[in-house]
A and B are shown apart, each in its own frame.
Chain A
Amino acid sequence: MVQVVFDKVRKAFGDTVTIPGLDLVIESGEFVSLLGPSGCGKSTTLRMLAGLEQPSGGRISIGGRDVANLPPAERDIAMVFQSYALYPHMTVAENIRYPLRKRGVPKPEQATRLAEVAALLQLEPLLDRKPRQLSGGQQQRVALGRALVRDPSVFLLDEPLSNLDAALRAHMRAELIELHRRLGKTMVYVTHDQLEAMTMSTRIAVMKDGVLQQFAPPAEIYDRPANRFVAGFIGTPSMALAEATLLRDGGGARLQIGAMMIDLPGRHAAAAPCAVTVGIRPEDIVVGQGPWQALVRLVEPTGHETIVALEAGDLALTARIPGGPRLHAGETVAFDVNRARLHLFAADDGHRLALDITDTTPPRSA
């Protein structure tokens, strides 16, 4: 049982507070992604977990053990670095054996473990090479091998795929998912790439400015973003966000977005009237029929679907429609929105309004 706990962990560099107070409990065997824009504190969080940086306050424990005063070597972790950090003067085999050597694993066992890992990652033909003789993808696999060889209780991965090209990245994503399934180890994965986080994680911790925004499984993050930031950050193309007003209309409620009026189920009336931010995902816009008209600004066919930028008065929307382009820039089309999948956020602090619509529908399966 290797639970990783961040308890009010704080990090400040001099007077600059980068992480004001992080609470996070990662369960044993989970694959958790720390996701956020650069500078959000995700890497610092990982490095504190590794022991490479010391928190300015709070407590970190791994498997119930407070690791505050444990150097990285004694935390029973393995880490894959964004730069891979392969030791340039050692061969691939020496690189992979290094963690075993440092822990005094007997020579014959070193050889067995090396052989296992090399087979797993198809590194056999590369074992005698130096890192600089390897391609980016091969270096990445060696870095992974060095982490895997030791069977640690927690794996830390710091943007391990960001230096690979697109095709290789997709391939390695699949391998990592498979690896996690097979090993069942706790993995903490830092990334700024939401596709990686969405496809691989059991849960995603979305961070911004050192503050945890939401910690939930990918589907929930997508279907029920906890606040305006998460809503805008997750999803490509991103969710359209617009200022709107929630009004009372007899027994029911209406949402006014510019000139548009949308009727909502009656229970929303309780909060009305109030200012809100409404979020509409591209796939929740129906183009070609509906009560409103919009100007087509831009049509981007991607093959299996088409992204259409629409303009309805002051409101800018992005729609995702299946198939090839049937529309042309400059024409006017009718459109509708899927009322059941609108997202409402408080206008002031941006938190998700509990009474909003999707609460009544079960989360879509991802």
Chain B
Amino acid sequence: MTNRQRPALIASLVTWPLVLLIAFPLLWMLLTSVKPQAELFTTPPDFLPNAITFEHYRRVLEETAFLQYFRNSLVVAVSTTLLVVVVAVLGAYSLVRFAYRGRELLASLVLFTYLLPSVVLISPLYLMLVKLGLANTLASLVAAYTSFALPYALWLLRSFMAGIPEDLEAAAMVDGASRMGAFVDVVLPQALPGIISTALFSFILAWNEYLYALVLVNSDEARPLTTGVMTMLISAFNIEWSLLMAASVMMSVPLIVIFAFFQKYLTSGFGAGGVKG
């Protein structure tokens, strides 16, 4: 549509203000978190802080259970990701390459669960996990998060694996590999970008989850960041926005890291998972 060589100046002038408007809330979060408390309540507010302070970060880390929540979130997100990726890599390979009765039905079921509202599953899952004695544990969160991360991962990987030429496996088998040998030697390396993408998505989904954590966990020992940070908001007498913004920034660090270094995997996973079908 445009001349590919020359930057479109007019388009830049239209786009960038919009981009900055979209990014503003995040920028404001960052600025608020480093402003001295007093500067928050000036009218009209100053855009840039007059003095930069990391006091709020120190207080979040030292005076709240933030680190405990962070550790919980990390454990839950990493465990969920590992579980989901292992199960989904095998399952997706089976769905793509093997023929058996019920395969189509299963694929449709996966797609269906991908759309299922969490609130439908929440009560029975809660009852089930209480019965198993898992309430208030990190394990209960891993189980619950698997319910949405696994269908997502299966759907994503199925689409990635369908793109690997079958000839490669055939060649490997002729060359002396068993079926699983061909899977390990050829399919896994080829699916690696898809696996990375799936792992990142699972991690992000688990890291950001709120509802299950709200219902399944009510002790600080097992509480992840999402509900933990909200507890900080609710328990405080008057809301300390500087603290919350500092906590928000720190809570977003893993996402920022993922986003900065692995963005291409996120966008490719996007195409494969939701939209192209």
Contacts and interface: CB of A to CB of B under 8 A. Distances in A.
Contact of A83 (B167, B185, B186): B167
B167 A72 contact: no
Interface residues of A, number: 24
A182 interface: no
A89 B190 contact: yes
B174 interface: yes
Interface string B222-245: 000000000000000000000000
B190 to A, nearest CB: 7
A73 B170 contact: no
A52 interface: yes
Interface in B150-206: 165, 167-168, 170-179, 181, 185-186, 189-190
A73 B167 contact: no
A71 B178 CA distance: 8
Contacts of B181: 102
Contacts of A83: 165, 167
Given A71-B178, A88-B190, A89-B190, A98 B167 contact: no
Contact of B173 (A72, A82, A89): A72
Contacts of A103: 176
A77 B109 CA distance: 41
Contacts of B167: 81-83, 85
Given A79-B171, A81-B170, A87-B186, A73 B165 contact: no
Interface residues of B, number: 18
B165 A52 contact: no
B177 A73 contact: yes
Contacts of A78: 174-175
Contact of A87 (B172, B173, B174, B178): B172
A37 to B, nearest CB: 22
Contacts of B178: 71, 73
Nearest to B186: A87
Contacts of B172: 87, 98, 102
Contact of B174 (A77, A82, A89): A77
A62 to B, nearest CB: 13
A117 interface: no
A72 B182 CA distance: 12
Residue of B173, B175, B178, B189 most packed against chain A (CB within 10 A): B175
Nearest to A89: B189
B174 A50 contact: yes
A232 interface: no
Given A82-B167, A87-B186, 7 more contacts: A72-B173, A73-B177, A81-B167, A81-B171, A83-B167, A87-B168, A98-B175
18 contacts: A47-B170, A50-B174, A52-B173, A71-B173, A72-B170, A79-B174, A81-B167, A81-B171, A83-B165, A87-B168, A87-B171, A87-B189, A88-B168, A89-B189, A98-B172, A99-B175, A102-B172, A102-B175
